[in-house]
Amino acid sequence: MGSSKPISPFRLSSLLRSQKDPSLAFQIFLNPQNHYRYSILSYDLIITKLGRAKMIPQMELILQQLHNDTRHRVPEPLLCHVISFYARARLPSRAVQTFLSIPSFRCTPTLKSFNSLLNALLTCRRFQTITHFASRLSEFGPPNTCTYNILIRSCFFQGRTDRALELFDEMRRTNVCPDQVTFGTLIHGLCKDSRMHQAFGMKKLMIQEFKLKPCVSVYTNLMKGVCEIGELHRAFEIKDEMERNGLRLDVVVYNTLVNALFKAGRKEEALRVLEEMKESGYHWNSVTCNVMIGEFCRQKNFQEAYRILDGVEGVKPDVFGYNVVIGWLCKVGKWSEANDLVQDMPRRKCVPDVVTYRTLFDGLCRWTQFREAAIVLDEMLFKGYVPHTKSLNEFVCGLCREGNFELLSTVLSGLASRGEFCNEGIWNVLVSVVCKQEKLAAEPFKIFKALAVS
């Protein structure tokens, strides 16, 4: 039986483009029976498919083959994509290695790949490495708008607002024109830092000097900022300005207003905004549900909160909404209902997270339900979660106060078996009981001695 007819580079590219499954595309690309010559386009297609699917080992295999295929001078944008795929996979060191190896791919690195590396490091929050490479910026030419946008964003992530503003001033001095992203980043950072006067000044500069129109997200950040400082009248002024400028209000704007109004005790106005939201064609999302759940819980109206958890508005709340209800139930002493709700979450297709377990554990301890708390603690540890150190210390202290040393021994043995018994606070509690509570000293001393030996 003769060998199959070789597939042309064009045909290979067509096959790769049409194949939705990255694993099958990988098999097609490496099929040894086809004997085709690979084109840059086919390399680009398969690397992109594998990178987007986070199939990093397979992508690296193709990348090594491309590296060794000396017929091709690899285009810089392809390597920029590889750097971004490493960022998405949270592999910053490999992103750096790829950037440094660009010359070995018969390609000259430019500001484009340098910016890709900076952005990858920002995605992975490697701020020190950003600083290191930023010192080499002159090797790749003067910074452009993209470079400054990345560096400014990095500063805000680190809480260095003043340095971000210095970079913006540097942009203007060197005639690098800021864009929508620049102003959006600056305004967002200033609002997060509650520097609202400067944020509004930046919006004015954006419009008057650079003739850029603020987008919905700029207005939303300003609205969130003024709501945080309790200036709701300015939030409505922003809403009016958006409507005058022909910007369609989105669900984030409405959620921001509703949440702020409820927190300020202006329930009727909040309900009117919700009605306006509905009339504008927007449906509730998980954030809207969480806002309403929070309000009903503040009113101790748990039946309405449960109604929203049941998806009555056509959308299921996320785990945040459940955690709010659980927290409030624990706060008012309904710890049994909180426990039942946590147990029911998987049936409701919502997976409890570390906050869920910590909230329930804290609530059970607060109401001295230590046996139930021990069960929750065991489930937490099994799932890889740990309670707050303060909560764990209070739990141990509570068991000691009750003299429930049998349960204490079981709990501490479980902690020790999982490598979690390394808390100085727990030792201090045990030592305190041994030294001060003479009537109860025998049992805790046995536990203390056994764990010290282990």
Element (H, E) at 259: helix 251-263
pLDDT tens, residue by residue, 372-409: 999 999 999 899 898 988 888 888 888 888 888 888 88
- Does the structure show a pLDDT above 80 at 33? no
The phi-psi region of residue 349 (left if phi > 0; otherwise alpha if psi is between -120 and 50; otherwise beta) is left
In this structure, which long-range contacts are made by residues 225-233, counting pairs with CB atoms below 8 Å and at least 24 apart in sequence?
225/190, 225/191, 225/192, 225/194, 225/196, 225/199, 226/196, 227/256, 227/257, 227/259, 227/260, 228/191, 228/194, 229/194, 229/196, 230/264, 231/196, 232/260, 232/261, 232/264, 232/266
The predicted pLDDT at position 1 comes to 41
Q: How far apart are CA 145 and CA 182, in angstroms?
A: 8
Work out the angle between the directed axes of helices 286-298 and 302-309 (0-180°, nearest 10).
160
Residues near 3 by beta carbon (within 8 Å), at least 6 away in sequence: 33, 35
Q: Give the least confident one: 4-8, 185-189, 295-299.
A: 4-8
- Does the structure show a pLDDT above 80 at 43? yes
Q: In this structure, are residues 342 and 358 in contact, taking their beta carbons and an 8 Å threshold? A: no
The predicted pLDDT at position 197 comes to 97
The phi-psi region of residue 387 (left if phi > 0; otherwise alpha if psi is between -120 and 50; otherwise beta) is beta
CA angle 12, 14, 20 (to 5 degrees): 105
pTM: 0.81
Q: How far apart are CA 185 and CA 221, in angstroms?
A: 10
The predicted pLDDT at position 239 comes to 96
Residues 151-174 as b/e (b if ≥16 CB within 10 A, e otherwise) read bbbbbbeeebbeebbebbeebeee
pLDDT tens, residue by residue, 205-232: 999 999 999 999 999 999 999 999 999 9
The predicted pLDDT at position 450 comes to 54
CA angle 313, 314, 320 (to 5 degrees): 75
Q: How far apart are CA 172 and CA 145, in angstroms?
A: 11
Average pLDDT, the chain: 90
> What token pair was written down for 200?
């509004």
